[in-house]
Structure formats: C-alpha cells, structure tokens
C-alpha cells in the first residue's frame, strides 16, 4: 500500500508532469520536423512534364525546356552517318507525352546525340598491290586517291601512302570516309584513264558515264535501297577512287560508289 501511495504521488507530481510534457513536445517536434524535411527533400506534390527532345538538335534543348526547372546532360554521342550531327536520339527519363511520367524540379535529363564522324585505324599498305590496298582501306571505311609514278621495279604496287599530305604512321587513326592518297608504280603496259566524277549522279547515270571510258567497271553500294524504285532514284554520295586533280587509274579498273535514295537521304 505504501508503494502504491508513493507511486500515485509521483505520477501526479509537478516534476513528472513536466517531464511527460517535454517528452511529448520533443516527439511531436521530431515527427513534424522529419515529415517537413522529407516533404521538402522529395518535393512532395511537385510534378513537371518532361519535354520531348528526341529528333531535335541539342542546341535547341534550352528553348524546349523553357521555364521548367529541369536540367540536361549529354552523356554520350553515337556514330550514325544517316542522321544530322547533334540530333538527340535518346533521353532518360522518357518524354511525358509518351511515358506518362513526370519528374520533380531540378531533375537532370540524360541525352545521347548523333555524330557523323568516328575514328578508324589506317592499315599500312606500302608494298601491297594497288587492288589489295584499296580493298583493305575500303573495309575500314576509307576512300583512296591514286597517283601514278613511273616505276620499272614496283609496277602496280603502293610506293607511298599519305593522309592530308603527310605519311601515314603505324596505328594512326583518322575520321571514317577520309581520303588516303596512294602513290602507285605505273605499269609499263595498259592505258591510264582519268577518274570520272560521279558525285550527284544516279546509279544508272553513273553506268552510262562509264560506258565510254576504256572499260572502267562500276560497283555500287546502296545500303538504304530496299526496292527497285530506291535503286533507280539513288544518288551517288561518295566514290573511291575519288576524282581529284585529274587522278588516273588503269583501264578496266573498278570504281566503287556509295549511293542513297533521295527521299531517304533528305530525312
């Protein structure tokens, strides 16, 4: 009985009541502060629509964002010769109009953009035959310009190879579609023919152009040609060997052209 009486007196004492009130106030403050902090940290209730950047130039992103409180970061560039350089081909998060998702303010949208150039290794082809050298360079996405010099010992072989006037070095890398200049020993027999410029012609027009040029042969590449009509409308975008400074090749040589249908290239 005496213990219960002491306990009752303690529970109704001023000191106990003050401590209980302080504990309750402290817990209320902690819970309220935590909720306020998490609401602020997670920006509870905020929602911003993510613009659709796909297909736009990266230089236009600021205008597309406008007053929205979001940022962007270009994380990578991907080689694609068929798309204008700097075009956005990927974004994360995805645009709201296709995903239905919205973001909080300050969110960073990650972008990937296209580029039309990438570096490739230049094979060393000195002392190789012209035909082998051209084929090897072509597999690397490189074009050639042929210069012939008189030679009684190295007929038909590559004597020198240069890029932009300078000798090619081991493990050198250059942009794809670059022109590698080959100096080839001139054969004692066989006629040399000026390389015709086929740029801008259709495949059919190119074939007609070569008919009267000492038996030059044409090999056409059109990766985008899916139908017969595509092949008819395809226009030459580049060729190898290139036609520059009255370059000459032996009669009967093959000229490789790379064509693309007009309507698809414009896209």
Tens digit of each residue's pLDDT (9 = 90 or more) over 96-132: 888 788 888 888 999 999 988 888 999 999 989 888 9
What is the sign of the dihedral through the CA atoms of 241, 247, 249 and 255?
positive
Pair 76, 123 in one domain: no
In terms of domains, do 182 and 198 share one? no
Residue 40 lies in a domain: no
**Domain, as residue range, for 165:** 118-189
Which of 115, 144, 163 is where one domain is finished? Answer: 115
Choose the final residue of a domain: 115, 136, 167.
Answer: 115
pLDDT tens digits, 157-189: 899 999 999 999 999 999 988 999 999 887 655
Q: What is the DSSP letter of 73?
A: E
Residues 253 and 223 in one domain: yes
Domain count, the chain: 3
pTM, two decimals, is 0.55
Q: Which residue, 141, 158, 189, sits at the end of a domain?
A: 189
Give which of 173, 156, 178 is closest to 252, Cα–Cα: 156
Residues 177, 244, single domain; the answer is: no
| Location of structure tokens 């290239």 | 265
């Amino acid at each position: 009985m005496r213990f219960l009486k002491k306990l009752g007196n303690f529970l109704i004492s001023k000191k106990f009541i003050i401590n209980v009130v302080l504990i309750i106030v402290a817990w209320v403050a902690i819970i309220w502060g935590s909720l306020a902090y998490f609401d602020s940290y997670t920006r509870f209730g905020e929602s911003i629509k993510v613009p659709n950047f796909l297909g736009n130039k990266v230089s236009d992103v600021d205008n597309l964002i406008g007053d929205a409180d979001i940022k962007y970061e270009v994380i990578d560039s991907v080689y694609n010769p068929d798309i204008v350089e700097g075009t956005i081909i990927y974004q994360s998060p995805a645009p709201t109009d296709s995903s239905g998702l919205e973001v909080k303010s300050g969110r960073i949208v990650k972008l990937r953009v296209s580029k039309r150039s990438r570096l490739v290794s230049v094979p060393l082809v000195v002392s190789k035959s012209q035909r082998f050298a051209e084929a090897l360079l072509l597999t690397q996405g490189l074009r050639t310009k042929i210069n012939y010099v008189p030679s009684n010992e190295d007929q038909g072989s590559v004597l020198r190879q240069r890029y932009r006037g300078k000798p090619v070095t081991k493990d050198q890398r250059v942009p794809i579609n670059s022109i590698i200049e080959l100096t080839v020993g001139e054969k004692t027999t066989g006629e040399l023919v000026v390389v015709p410029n086929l740029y801008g012609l259709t495949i059919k027009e190119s074939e007609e152009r070569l008919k009267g040029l000492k038996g030059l042969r044409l090999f056409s590449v059109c990766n985008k040609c899916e139908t017969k009509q595509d092949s008819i409308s395809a226009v030459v975008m580049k060729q190898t060997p290139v036609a520059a400074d009255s370059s000459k090749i032996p009669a009967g040589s093959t000229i490789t052209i790379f064509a693309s249908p007009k309507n698809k290239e414009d896209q």
